[in-house]
């Protein structure tokens, strides 16, 4: 069996096992599993900007909120509009991508802490807008009575139904961000991450590269927001606070920057640890913070480094050709 087929089978084993095991799980564990997959998708999207391009974005929740409100407004009784799920998924992703470009244009010259502060402000601006536009978003009361999602003739109502949507979507996003990493765009993003001035001196259009990174990352966040609203069938500004942005950033910091496997592992830990600490309600946040500090101190570069990405897995499946020291 050649390398590509072995690698493809290796990458399909875990999703197939998730779908198989999911049918035997109760509702609550299934909801947790759906949440893990959703945050893994968001983490992979944010990785394009933070992990690949080295641009700290603390306002990623804004694109998540845009996607969620797109579904809430276009598939509910709020304005009597009831568009199909697949169409709103495209519209929500497109609007979020456009917002990503709008955010990227004014921050092209910013770096480090200044970029983080501006993106944080952008996230808060979107949340405040959603909270104050009563005539559009129903303000702090949020939007309820959102339509159930229908796709290919199937109605997505139960957590297991959404598992069938989230697992394939997670694989698509995984392969997409992996191919970005292995492409010429990925090389340009890496150059921007290491030294923007040197990258510009080598002929890389850093402006275009960063705008593409912001746009693609925002589109994935918008798609995640649409799915979140379809799962909850209710949205309000309280779901899109800075804490949500921080969790998504922690997903990739804990899991490993620039590694799609790391986003999946980071999402698993950050969602499971609070659930495991529910029995210690009085000390839950304290224990959660201690656990995060220990993980980051023990693995400052993340639980899975850039080295152990999909390309490394492909080589292992092919019998180790290229060695562990080959470039990933």
Distances (CA, A) of 308 to 217, 292, 303, 327: 22, 22, 10, 10
Is residue 324 included in any domain, yes or no? no
Structural domain boundaries enclosing 280: 3-317
| Contact assessment for residue 49 and residue 55, using Cβ atoms and an 8 Å cutoff | yes
List, in order, residues 6 or more apart from 5 with CB less than 8 Å away.
none
pLDDT of residue 70: 94
Number of other residues whose CB lies within 10 A of the CB of residue 185:
19
Is residue 323 included in any domain, yes or no? no
pLDDT of residue 165: 92
Is residue 136 included in any domain, yes or no? yes
- Two tokens, residue 72: 């809430």
pLDDT of residue 65: 95
pTM: 0.88
Is residue 241 included in any domain, yes or no? yes
What number of helices (H) and strands (E) belong to the chain?
14, 4
Strand pairing of 81-82 and 75-76? Answer: antiparallel
Task: Report how far residue 72's alpha carbon sits from residue 146's, in angstroms, rounded to the nearest whole number.
Answer: 6
Task: Report how far residue 121's alpha carbon sits from residue 151's, in angstroms, rounded to the nearest whole number.
Answer: 36
Number of other residues whose CB lies within 10 A of the CB of residue 267:
28
Question: For residue 81, is it left (φ>0), alpha (ψ between -120 and 50) or beta?
Answer: beta
Rounded to 10 degrees, what is the CA torsion of 18, 302, 192, 92? 40
Is residue 326 included in any domain, yes or no? no
Number of other residues whose CB lies within 10 A of the CB of residue 137:
22
- Two tokens, residue 221: 């966040």
List pLDDT tens digits, range 1-33.
444 455 556 667 777 788 888 888 898 999 999
pLDDT of residue 67: 95
List pLDDT tens digits, range 107-157.
777 777 888 888 899 999 999 999 998 888 988 999 988 999 998 888 898
Is residue 327 included in any domain, yes or no? no
Task: Report how far residue 186's alpha carbon sits from residue 168's, in angstroms, rounded to the nearest whole number.
Answer: 23
> How many domains, in total, are found in the chain?
1
pLDDT of residue 326: 38
Question: Which letter, b or e, does each residue of 87-113 get, where b requires 16 or more Cβ atoms within 10 Å of its Cβ?
Answer: ebbebbbbbbbebbeebbeebeeeeee
Q: What is the mean pLDDT of each run of 10 residues along the chain (328 residues)?
A: 53 78 87 94 93 88 94 90 93 94 83 85 92 89 90 88 92 90 87 85 86 93 95 92 89 87 89 85 81 83 67 51 40
């Amino acid at each position: 069996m050649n390398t590509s087929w072995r690698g493809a089978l290796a990458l399909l084993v875990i999703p197939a096992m998730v779908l198989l095991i999911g049918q035997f799980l109760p509702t609550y564990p299934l909801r947790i599993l759906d949440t893990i997959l959703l945050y893994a998708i968001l983490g992979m999207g944010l990785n394009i900007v933070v992990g690949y391009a080295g641009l700290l974005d603390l306002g990623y929740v804004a694109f998540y909120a845009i996607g969620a409100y797109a579904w809430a407004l276009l598939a509910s009784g709020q304005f009597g509009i009831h568009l199909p799920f697949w169409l709103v998924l495209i519209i929500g992703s497109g609007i979020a991508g456009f917002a990503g470009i709008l955010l990227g244009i004014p921050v092209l010259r910013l770096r480090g802490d200044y970029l983080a502060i501006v993106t944080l402000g952008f996230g808060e601006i979107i949340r405040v807008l959603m909270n104050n536009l009563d005539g559009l978003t129903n303000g702090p009361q949020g939007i309820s009575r959102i339509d159930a999602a229908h796709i290919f003739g199937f109605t997505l109502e139960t957590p297991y139904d959404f598992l069938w949507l989230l697992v394939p979507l997670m694989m698509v996003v995984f392969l997409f961000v992996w191919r970005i990493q292995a492409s010429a765009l990925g090389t340009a993003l890496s150059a921007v991450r290491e030294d923007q001035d040197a990258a510009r001196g080598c002929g890389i259009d850093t402006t275009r590269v960063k705008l593409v990174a912001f746009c693609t990352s925002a589109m994935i966040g918008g798609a995640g927001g649409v799915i979140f609203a379809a799962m909850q069938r209710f949205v309000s500004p309280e779901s899109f606070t800075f804490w949500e942005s921080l969790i998504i950033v922690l997903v990739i910091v804990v899991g490993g920057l620039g590694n799609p496997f790391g986003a999946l592992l980071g999402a698993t830990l950050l969602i499971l640890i609070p659930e495991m600490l529910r029995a210690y309600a009085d000390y839950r946040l304290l224990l959660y913070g201690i656990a995060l500090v220990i993980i980051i101190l023990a693995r400052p570069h993340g639980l899975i480094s850039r080295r152990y990405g999909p390309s490394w897995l492909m080589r292992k499946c092919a019998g180790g050709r290229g060695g562990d020291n080959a470039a990933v």
